[in-house]
Structure 1
Amino acid sequence: MATAADRAKSLARTSVWLEGKAAPKRRAEQPAGLDRDKITAATVRLLDAEGLAKFSMRRLAAELGVTAMSVYWYVDTKDDLLELALDAVTGEVTLPAEGEDADWRDQLRALATEYRQLLVRHPWVSPLIGEYLNVGPHSMAFATTVQRIMRRTGLPPHGQTGALAAVFRFVYGFGAVEGRFAQRCAEAGISQDDFFRQVMGAIGEQPGLRETFQESVDLLEARGGDTVQEMRERDFRFALDLLIAGIEAKRNG
């Protein structure tokens, strides 16, 4: 059973990248054929397949065909491993090249879209983002690129952080909800479109919700799109365009 001291120590951890554990020393007794990259890749596969709630070091060891103690040769804690996995998938984001002739609007749209796709592809990422400092090499490369693009918007320095928050917290929320919905449908063995129709049909049958439901239907019809994905794409593009237009207005205001 965890003691108060154990809990305090867990809360006080900073990052696997800041505690001298990012590059563990090899020891002669370490299991052959195993390394941190393989362990991290297996972690990502398990998290994608089974979700964050079911993940454990014992389950990971079984996936790798080793004992749990073998995994601990390479990482000290489950938190360290989850942080490594988080940074690893952040490396999937394609970062735009540095070029002063590139339009910052196009680069911001591209990066926001990549970030959304990451959150949908790996639903377990969104709850971890608030847990860790995200200072691994891939996460820092992403942050540096975002800041570089934002500097080129023409906003004053004191406004750039707010603009970053507006864009990427919007994308975070949009992608997190989208990813969770897709995961729920996959677990239930039903398509997103069928689930959406079932939910809308069930709500529409409730007398107390009928008036509000009809207003929602009118909005959905005005939005357009025949599928859940098409509706999402329209909403995402429109909302992102609004944010970019706001940045342009602020820099000219």
Structure 2
Amino acid sequence: MVKAADRAKNPARSSVWLEKRATRSGGGPAGLDRDRIVAASIRMLDEEGLAKLSMRKLATELGVTAMSLYWYVDTKDDIIEFAMDSVYGEFDLAAIDAARDWQDRIRVLAREYRAMLVRHTWMSPSAGQYLNIGPNAIAVAYKIQQAISDTGLSLDRQPGAMSAVFQFVYGYGTIESQFGRRAAEAGMSQDEFYVDSVKAFRDDPEFSPQIEGMQEILDERASHGSVGAIWDRDFDHALDVLIAGIEVMVAREAEGARRQK
């Protein structure tokens, strides 16, 4: 069994996907398997977040003893890693492959990633804490790498382009998901929460000087009548800007290569 203390000794190599577990003797608890544990953990994470996930609560949800879980996982970190990889399995890889060119593939990948982050608000704070090298995550990473490679950018420019697009998506999806979580915790729709929060800002006389310079943009956003419409419009436009930037960089590199001949 891999204990938390053992993981702490070598965190850079700590992952459920790298550790070799000893084979358990005999059969596991009846009616329980890793897929069922992971599915239950995702439900709990979606409803309550990372902080409230525990082996004891998960066992109660599954109707088993906490010790039963250790037949399939060694730590709570194992469960989170399995859960993270499972939601990467929600990406529609067939839709990515069906896209006509690298621009469309990047758009599909970006929208799939954003949707996953919004569906699972616990994913954003999990990023960076784990190596995230499960089979589904690797499959998605490979599709991203392929799409960026097909832009025609030189190898040393590809990581920057990848970061520009997908770090943007991570940030956008994180803000969107946390806004939705905050609205839900307040017992309000996103539209209600947005209208109330902006009204509070506008009605506070201390903010009058700042609002004066923001009046047009606040009015423009309010004219859409739906926070969801604002999220979608701004995301798509920003993604178009990033893709256009990559196209400019590709053309610039091609022009530079021609001049050197």
Instruction: With the length of structure 2 as denominator, give the TM-score of the two structures.
Output: 0.89
Distance 1:83 1:5, change over 3 A: closer
Give the 3-state SS of the residue equivalent to 1:79 in structure 2: helix
2:125 aligned to which of 124, 127, 134: 127
Q: Which residue in 1 is equivalent to 2:17?
A: 17
How far did 1:122 drift? 0.3
Q: Cα offset for 1:130?
A: 1.2
The within-5 A match list for 1:164-175 is: 164-175=162-173
Counterparts of residues 174-189 of structure 1 (less than 5 Å): 174-189=172-187
- Map 1:126-205 onto structure 2 (within 5 A): 126-205=124-203
Q: Give the letter aligned to residue 67 of structure 1.
A: T
Evaluate the alpha carbon distance shift between residue 155 and residue 13 of structure 1 in structure 2; reply closer, same or farther with a 3 A threshold.
closer
Q: Percent identity?
A: 52
The match for 1:70 is 68
* Structure-2 separation of matches of 1:244 and 1:130: 25
Question: What stretches of structure 2 of length at least 5 have no aligned partner?
Answer: 253-261
CA distance in 2, matches of 1:231, 1:102: 27
2:102 — aligned with what?
104
Match of 1:79 in 2: 77
Task: Name 1:244's counterpart in structure 2.
Answer: 243
* Residue 225 (structure 1) aligns with: 224
Q: 1:107 to 1:12 in 2, by over 3 A?
A: closer
Q: Does the Cα contact within 8 Å between 2:16 and 2:81 map onto a contact in 1?
A: yes
Query: How far apart, CA to CA, are the structure 2 residues paired with 1:144 and 1:59?
Result: 35
Distance in 2 between residues matched to 1:10 and 1:86, nearest whole Å:
21
Map 1:53-68 → 2, pairs under 5 A: 53-68=51-66
Partner secondary structure for residue 130 of structure 2: coil
Distance 1:18 1:208 in 2: 55
Deviations 1:17-71 (A, max 9, x none): 01124xx734315211111111011100111111111111111000000111101
TM-superposed CA distance for 1:217, in Å, is 3.5
CA contact (8 A) 2:106 2:147 kept: yes
Q: Secondary structure at the match of 1:66?
A: coil
Deviation string 1:151-197 (CA, Å, 9 cap, x unpaired) is 11111111111000000000000001100111111122101111111
Q: Which runs of 5+ in 1 are unaligned?
A: none
1:25 is paired with a residue of what secondary structure? coil
Aligned counterparts of 2:10 and 2:202: Cα–Cα separation in 1? 47
Shift of the 85–65 alpha-carbon distance from structure 1 to 2, 3 Å rule, reads: same
**Aligned equivalents of 2:15, 2:82: Cα separation in 1:** 10
1:216 aligns with 2:242: no
In structure 2, do the counterparts of structure 1 residues 13 and 61 end up closer, same or farther at CA, with 3 Å as the change threshold?
Answer: farther
* C-alpha displacement of 1:211: 2.3
3-state DSSP of counterpart to 2:52 = coil
Q: How many residues align?
A: 247
Write the distance in 1 (CA, Å) between the matches of 2:197 and 2:215. Answer: 12
- 1:248 partner amino acid: E
Q: Distance in 1 between matches of 2:5 and 2:118?
A: 37
* Aligned-pair CA distance for 1:6: 6.3
By how many angstroms is 1:235 displaced? Answer: 0.9
- In the TM superposition, what is the alpha-carbon distance from 1:225 to its structure 2 partner? 2.0
1:88 to 86, 89, 100: 86
CA contact (8 A) 2:15 2:130 kept: yes
Q: Shift of the alpha carbon at 1:242?
A: 0.5
Distance 1:56 1:129 in 2: 19
